[in-house]
Every structure is written in C-alpha cells, then in structure tokens.
C-alpha cells in the first residue's frame, strides 16, 4: 500500500511537471520564472535541435540499475520482500547501520565493462544510463564528498563508472548517469518519500543537498562528462531555489541532456513516462518510456517474470511510432553479471534491428491517424483514468520519402489503409534481400499493397512504402 502511495506521488509529480512543461510549450519560455535560467529557458529552437539531435535519433537505450541492493537481492532476514529490488531498504525498513553493512559484501569481481557495453551494442542500443547513486545513498563511484561509496566502503575498490564511460565511448555509445538527487535514505536530511524510519535519517534537506548531493553531482559531471543526467523522484523539499543551485551547475555543461525529474518547477528536456507507453506520445516534445524487463529495476533473485522478446520489440516499435525513446532496464547481480534471460532477449532484439534498424533509428512518428487501441470502459490506470488498451496489429514510422509499416499480424493478401495522406510510389519488404517490388494501388487516401503469402519475421515484418510529396 505504502509503495502504491509512493508510486502515485511520483506519477503526480511527473504529471505536474508534464502540465508545467506543456504550459511552457505554448508560451515563450520565461527565464524570470526560475531563480536561475536553465538551458531550456535560454537556447534557441535551432540550438535545442542540435543539442537533442543524437538523442532523438537513438530511439533505444539501456537503463542499468546496479547498486548495493543487488546484495540482498530482494531478501531481508531470509524472507522475500515484495516490491522493487532497489526499494528494499525502505520496504523492509532496514536500519541505516544494517543496510550499510551490505557494502562489505559487495565485491562484483565478474563485472566487465566490455561485456556490458558489447551487450548494449549487440541489442542495437545507442546509449546507456546507469545508476550512480540510487535512493539508498550508496555511490557507485569513488567520492570525496561522502565515504559511503564503492571505493571506500567495499572490498571491490574499482570505479565501474569510469570503465563503462570509457568503454561506451570506445564503442560509439553515449553515456548517461542516473542520480537520486532528492531521496537519500542513508544521509541525514535526505528525503524519504514514504517517511523516515530511523533516527539516523533525521536532518535538514538543504544541508544534505549542500554536503552530499551537490558535491557528488559536481564530481560525476567533472569525472565522467555524462551525455545524460537522469534525476528521480522530486519531492516538495526540492524548492525552486534549491533546484536552481543544481541548475547553475548543469549550465556549465551546455551539451547535457537532463530529464523532467529534477523538481523545483524545472521541466528539463525529456518527459519520462514510467512503465507505460502514452497512447499519443507527447507530440512536439522529447520523451522516453523507461521500463523494467521483469518487474524490478534493481536485481531480485526471485523475479523471473521477464517480458518476452515479442513484447519488448513491439514496445520499441510502438514508442518509435509515437516519436519517443525506449529506455529498457537491466538489473545486474552483485557479482556484476547481467542475468542471462535479460541478455538473451536483448540480443534477439538486436538481431531484428540488424535487419530492420533503418525503420527505427532517426525515424519520425506515423503519418497515419490510426489509433491502434482504445480506452477501456471498465479498467482504470494508476491515475484512476480509463486504461488504454492497445491493439497489436501494426504500427508505422517514417522518414522523408519512406513509410515503414510494422506488421505484427500478417494481414493476408493485402495491407490496406484508409487514411493514407501520403502519395505511394512503390513498396517492398525490408527483410527481403532483393527488395522485390510489391504492387501498390492508391485511390485518394485508400492505399493497398499486395503482400506475399507469409510474413518474413515471426514478430515484425517491415513493409516499406516509398512516397513522394503531394
């Protein structure tokens, strides 16, 4: 129940910042609203397009939740703890001193940056975002600002973020860091959304920010030069004034992309729908659905509820058809290993992308008006609104001169659309090495393409429709 309230609060705070961001899109930005103007307040539209260009083309990224919570792996005092793996300290109300003891057991000797980055690359992912500090306050990097970190508090002593940042860049991937700026359950004064449970947590939020969060943000920005900074769970403690101190720091890195979860009324760059795909996306805005591959972000040894490759791939396509990015999470264990069922699914998606990548990367949303779903009259979502029930027949993405129709269900002899505002000049299947021309007939907005008898791919066969303007 507690967890549900916390999640609801997250959704509400995101909904508020979404509303703020939308209000922003209509009116010209007014830097005066913020104590310190952020990059989004001051840059021109062309500067913004240039800053966001790689991110908009990327479409697919790897989220990695890795931290001390991988040691208990979902168990406390030999009992499974329901909920998210990385929330175990909160959910089991583990005292600060006891939680800190996990550090002595954290020795991920099997961690290998090359293996992880190569997996992301094989999956067709273009960027990585890894937790540098989650709500438990444990820093996954050597930190002079606070001793509760991987270098000073564990037998491991390495700097996995250094190795990952370097390897990601070597393999041509962008590198981003998640940092829990607001919640911190082991630092006095750090916020705890569900309420504190240990006297050791008592303290002043501003002081926590000044002595831990801001100094650590300085460290990670200076040491790893992340391309993305991913904030989380803003609470009301993060006033506009306090948030503006962080913004002043972010402003020193003018290429940085940061999400809408800083707090203090700053909308950031990206909307972050969590665990769902918005029915219409966020037209005209940059957005990224973050999603777990099973039911937890941080590793839980007994969570084997992995989504199938079909579901994951369809999600990627659905998101791309609405102009968003898919940030798909993996949860490595305390030895430093990404669980095999997760790696296996990522590789399968990568094989599909090897053939069909041009229908995803750098694409624009669907040019068709089909909704591919409807709102349920009986079921409600987490916000109490009617739940969106998608249909999984097909989706479309586009590029100048091409529409990519992703056929999840083989429609039979013809693919038909009734609202084709494009002018079709030809068609072929992307997975057909010869790109054999398919017969196209168009009468006004009625478009038909003749298909071969069988799909070429069990999950998604991409039909390319060539178009010309007018």
Per the CB < 8 A criterion, the answer to whether 275 and 269 are in contact is no
Q: Which of 150, 290, 330, 462 binds ligand GLC (CB under 6 A)?
A: 290
Binding residue (CB under 6 A) for ligand GLC from 36, 70, 86, 407: 86
Q: CB-wise, 165 or 193, nearer to ligand GLC? A: 193
Tokens 């591919």 locate to 372
Residue 192 binding ligand GLC, by CB under 6 A: no
Query: What's the token pair of residue 377?
Result: 């009259």
Is 297 a binding residue for ligand GLC by CB under 6 A? The answer is: yes
User: Residues 116, 123: contact at Cβ < 8 Å?
Assistant: no
Tell me how far, at minimum, the Cβ of 261 lies from ligand GLC, in Å.
8
Which residue in the set 39, 62, 68, 84 belongs to the binding site for ligand GLC (CB under 6 A)? 84
Q: Which stretch, 79-87, 314-322, 346-354, 384-392, contacts ligand GLC (CB under 6 A)? A: 79-87
Burial of 284 (0-12, 13-18, 19+ CB in 10 A): exposed
User: Where is 163: in which H helix or E strand?
Assistant: helix 160-170
Question: Cβ of residue 10: shortest distance to ligand GLC, in angstroms?
Answer: 5
Q: Is 10 a binder of ligand GLC (CB under 6 A)?
A: yes
Per-residue DSSP letters for 332-357?
Answer: --TTS---HHHHHHHHHHHHHHHHHG
Binder of ligand GLC out of 233, 260, 309, 398 (CB under 6 A): 233
Least gap, CB of 85 to ligand GLC (angstroms): 9
Closest distance to ligand GLC from the beta carbon of 30 (Å)? 29
Give the helix ranges, DSSP H, for 262-359: 309-321, 340-356
Distance separating alpha carbons of residues 457 and 405, to the nearest angstrom = 13
Specify the stretch interacting with ligand GLC by CB under 6 A; choose among 84-92, 102-110, 159-167, 458-466.
Answer: 84-92
CB 283 within 8 Å of CB 321: no
**232 sits near ligand GLC (criterion: CB under 6 A):** yes
The stretch among 80-88, 194-202, 331-339, 390-398 that binds ligand GLC (CB under 6 A) is 80-88
Q: How many CB atoms lie within 10 A of CB 456?
A: 17
Site string for ligand GLC, 27-56 (x = CB under 6 A): ------------------------------
**153 phi and psi angles, rounded to 5 deg:** -110, -5
Q: How far apart are CA 162 and CA 159, in angstroms?
A: 5
The reply on whether position 136 binds ligand GLC by CB under 6 A is no
Among positions 243-282, residues that touch ligand GLC (CB under 6 A) are 274
Report which of 424, 361, 349 is spatially closest to residue 172, judged by C-alpha positions: 361
Binding-site size for ligand GLC (CB under 6 A) equals 10
Rounded to an integer, what distance in angstroms lies between the CA atom of residue 328 and that of residue 313? 11
Residues that bind ligand GLC (CB under 6 A): 10, 65, 84, 86-87, 232-233, 274, 290, 297
């Amino acid at each position: 129940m507690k967890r549900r309230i916390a999640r609801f609060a997250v959704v509400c705070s995101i909904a508020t910042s979404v509303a703020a961001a939308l209000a922003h899109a209509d009116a010209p930005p007014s830097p005066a609203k913020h104590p310190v103007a952020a990059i989004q307040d001051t840059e021109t539209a062309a500067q913004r397009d240039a800053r966001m260009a790689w991110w908009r083309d990327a479409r697919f990224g790897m989220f990695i939740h890795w931290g001390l919570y991988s040691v208990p792996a979902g168990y406390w005092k030999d009992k499974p703890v329901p909920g998210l793996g990385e929330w175990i300290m909160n959910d089991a109300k583990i005292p600060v001193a006891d939680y800190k003891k996990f550090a002595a057991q954290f020795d991920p000797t099997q961690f290998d940056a090359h293996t992880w980055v190569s997996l992301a690359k094989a999956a067709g992912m273009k960027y990585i975002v890894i937790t540098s500090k989650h709500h438990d306050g444990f820093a996954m990097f050597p930190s002079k600002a606070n001793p509760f970190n991987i270098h000073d508090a564990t037998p491991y002593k390495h700097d996995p973020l250094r190795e990952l940042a370097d390897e990601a860049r070597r393999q041509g991937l962008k590198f981003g860091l998640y940092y829990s700026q607001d919640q911190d359950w082991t630092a006095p004064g750090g916020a705890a959304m569900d309420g504190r449970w240990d006297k050791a947590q008592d303290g002043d939020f501003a002081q926590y920010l000044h002595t831990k969060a801001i100094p650590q943000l300085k460290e990670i920005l200076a040491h790893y030069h992340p391309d993305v900074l991913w904030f989380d769970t803003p609470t009301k403690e993060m006033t506009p004034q306090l948030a503006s101190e962080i913004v002043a720091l972010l402003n020193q890195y003018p290429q940085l992309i940061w999400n809408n979860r800083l707090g203090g009324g700053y909308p950031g760059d990206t909307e972050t729908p969590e665990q769902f795909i918005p029915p219409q996306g966020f037209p005209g805005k940059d957005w990224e659905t973050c999603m777990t591959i099973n039911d937890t972000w941080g590793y839980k040894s007994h969570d084997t509820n992995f989504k199938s490759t079909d579901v994951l791939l369809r999600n990627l396509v659905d998101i791309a058809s609405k102009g968003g990015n898919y940030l798909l999470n993996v949860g490595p264990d305390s030895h430093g290993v990404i669980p095999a069922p997760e790696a296996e699914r990522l590789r399968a998606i990568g094989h599909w992308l090897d053939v069909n990548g041009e229908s995803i990367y750098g694409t624009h949303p669907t040019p068709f008006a089909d909704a591919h779903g409807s709102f349920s009259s009986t079921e409600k979502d987490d916000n109490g609104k009617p739940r969106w029930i998608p249909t999984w027949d097909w989706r479309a993405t586009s590029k100048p001169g091409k529409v990519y129709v992703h056929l999840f269900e083989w429609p039979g002899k013809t693919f038909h659309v009734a609202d084709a505002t494009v002018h079709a000049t030809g068609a072929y299947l992307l997975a057909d090495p010869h790109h054999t021309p398919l017969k196209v007939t168009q009468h006004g907005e009625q478009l038909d393409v003749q298909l071969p008898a069988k799909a070429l791919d069990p999950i998604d066969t991409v039909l390319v429709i060539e178009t010309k303007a007018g």
